[in-house]
């Protein structure tokens, strides 16, 4: 019980600090400090946990590696946006999207939806510059633009096998990938449909003259779109095919962008100065520290044990436990790894797997991530789009509730 209270108090302090307009990086770090104090995580325990990570996990899964790689990726994304702006590509993005998609709403959702196929931590920032540019040109409130970018970026996670959670579930439950994807498709469909209803059908200003479809041909629009997207696609291909870290891929893409467009070398330092964003670094530090405190302090295991002791109803436990863990940690795969062993008596394994009930559990994961201030993508969205975190969450909440409802329906109706 105490661990649950400590987590909730730390998150409440984070929300209060954000309401007081404290920069999100400072607020996140303060919340992590408070959690360490409440859970009595000493520097020695923290060091021991980091040492165990170094010994037991691949380098790419250790916290120091994540901090360095994510920091470089997110700072370099700012450089991509600055470079595109100075070259003039950003101004060509909106006419190209409108000319190809013939719909401002489709264009706004399509960018994060396509970029969401790249399963990299912090990958939401790859689409953020383009979505922000499109939203500003249309005149959409920044919190809604941030919500659109965040929500549609995450719609593939229940079904896309490149996200580690899907193969992890397949392995843990000894079921076929096709069956898991087929059941999880209900969550993806519910998410996309509800995202359209709650995020795209409302809050979009009337079309102005500059939003009318450009008269250029489809080939011209496709060329402009390719010029804008190729750095991101290049990064994605290097990551998926050659396992090149996204930070390295985006740096190579920036250099290629500057060279291809023959940008004067004397302008390069000014473009790279866009990477100077101390609050993003502090935000990453605080978010990862918060996660380390949970792991080193044994908080997640304690919360799991508490819910077992109070004999919570089966389906409520199946939904609520993954929800609370994902809400508290802001990450998908560790939530599955931590909670599913405790849920297998209710879900089953092999030929006896109740995939409808498992879908309910994953709906809990998705719902918790969608509203968690600890979720790195949400925190980064608030920082990058300069929008209140709470306002973004409130805009996402109706669509997230629809995903939860889809999970409940699958548990009750599907075998």
Q: At what angle do helices 104-115 and 90-101 cross, to 10 degrees?
A: 110
- Digit-coded pLDDT (tens) for 295-354: 888 887 787 778 778 877 889 989 998 898 788 777 787 778 777 877 888 888 888 889
Nearest alpha carbon to residue 234 among 258, 222, 219, 252? 252
Check pLDDT > 70 for residue 217: no
Q: Is 33 helix (H, G, I), strand (E, B) or coil?
A: helix
User: Can you tell me the mean pLDDT for 371-394?
Assistant: 87
Q: Is 76 helix (H, G, I), strand (E, B) or coil?
A: helix
User: Can you tell me the mean pLDDT for 210-228?
Assistant: 66
The answer to whether 187 and 406 have CB atoms below 8 angstroms apart is: yes
Check residue 89 and give its pLDDT. Answer: 74
Check pLDDT > 90 for residue 184: yes
pTM attached to this predicted model = 0.70
User: Can you tell me the mean pLDDT for 172-181?
Assistant: 86
More confident residue, 98 or 250: 250
Check residue 128 and give its pLDDT. Answer: 83
Check residue 102 and give its pLDDT. Answer: 66
- Digit-coded pLDDT (tens) for 331-343: 787 778 777 877 8
Nearest alpha carbon to residue 147 among 298, 371, 317, 310? 371
- Digit-coded pLDDT (tens) for 122-138: 667 777 877 887 888 78
> Across all residues in the chain, what is the average pLDDT?
82
- Entry field: residues in the chain: 415
Q: Who contacts 302 (Cβ-Cβ below 8 Å, separation ≥6)? A: 2, 3, 4
Check residue 183 and give its pLDDT. Answer: 95
The whole-angstrom separation of Cα 307 and Cα 353 is: 22
More confident residue, 118 or 320: 320
More confident residue, 173 or 88: 173
- Digit-coded pLDDT (tens) for 2-20: 888 888 888 788 878 877 8
The whole-angstrom separation of Cα 200 and Cα 293 is: 38
């Amino acid at each position: 019980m105490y661990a649950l209270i400590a987590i909730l108090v730390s998150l409440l302090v984070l929300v209060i600090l954000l309401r007081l307009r404290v920069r999100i990086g400072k607020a996140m770090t303060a919340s992590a400090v408070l959690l360490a104090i409440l859970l009595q995580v000493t520097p020695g325990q923290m060091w021991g946990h980091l040492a165990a990570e170094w010994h037991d996990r691949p380098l790419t899964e250790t916290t120091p590696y994540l901090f360095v790689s994510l920091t470089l990726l997110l700072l370099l994304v700012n450089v991509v946006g600055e470079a595109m702006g100075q070259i003039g590509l950003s101004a060509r993005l909106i006419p190209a999207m409108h000319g190809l998609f013939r719909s401002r709403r489709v264009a706004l959702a399509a960018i994060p939806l396509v970029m969401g196929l790249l399963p990299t931590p912090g990958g939401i920032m790859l689409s953020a510059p383009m979505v922000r540019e499109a939203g500003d040109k249309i005149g959409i409130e920044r919190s809604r633009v941030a919500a659109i970018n965040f929500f549609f970026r995450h719609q593939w996670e229940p079904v896309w096998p490149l996200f580690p959670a899907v193969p992890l579930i397949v392995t843990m439950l000894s079921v076929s990938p096709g069956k898991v994807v087929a059941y999880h498709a209900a969550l993806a469909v519910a998410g996309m449909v509800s995202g359209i209803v709650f995020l795209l059908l409302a809050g979009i200003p009337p079309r102005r003259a500059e939003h009318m479809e450009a008269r250029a041909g489809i080939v011209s629009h496709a060329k402009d779109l390719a010029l804008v997207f190729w750095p991101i696609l290049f990064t994605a291909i290097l990551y998926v095919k050659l396992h090149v870290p996204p930070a390295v891929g985006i740096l190579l893409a920036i250099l290629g962008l500057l060279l291809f467009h023959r940008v004067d070398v004397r302008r390069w330092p000014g473009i790279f100065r866009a990477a100077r964003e101390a609050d993003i670094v502090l935000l990453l530090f605080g978010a990862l520290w918060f996660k380390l405190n949970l792991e080193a302090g044994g908080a997640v295991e304690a919360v799991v044990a508490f819910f077992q002791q109070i004999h919570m109803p089966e389906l409520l436990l199946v939904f609520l436990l993954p929800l609370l863990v994902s809400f508290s940690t802001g990450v998908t795969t560790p939530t599955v790894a931590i909670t599913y062993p405790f849920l297998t008596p209710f879900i089953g394994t092999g030929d006896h797997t109740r995939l409808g009930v498992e879908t309910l559990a994953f709906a809990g994961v998705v719902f918790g991530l969608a509203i968690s201030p600890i979720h790195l993508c949400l925190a980064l969205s608030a920082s990058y789009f300069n929008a209140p975190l709470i306002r973004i969450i409130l805009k996402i909440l109706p669509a997230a509730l629809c995903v939860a409802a889809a999970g409940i329906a699958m548990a009750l109706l599907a075998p």
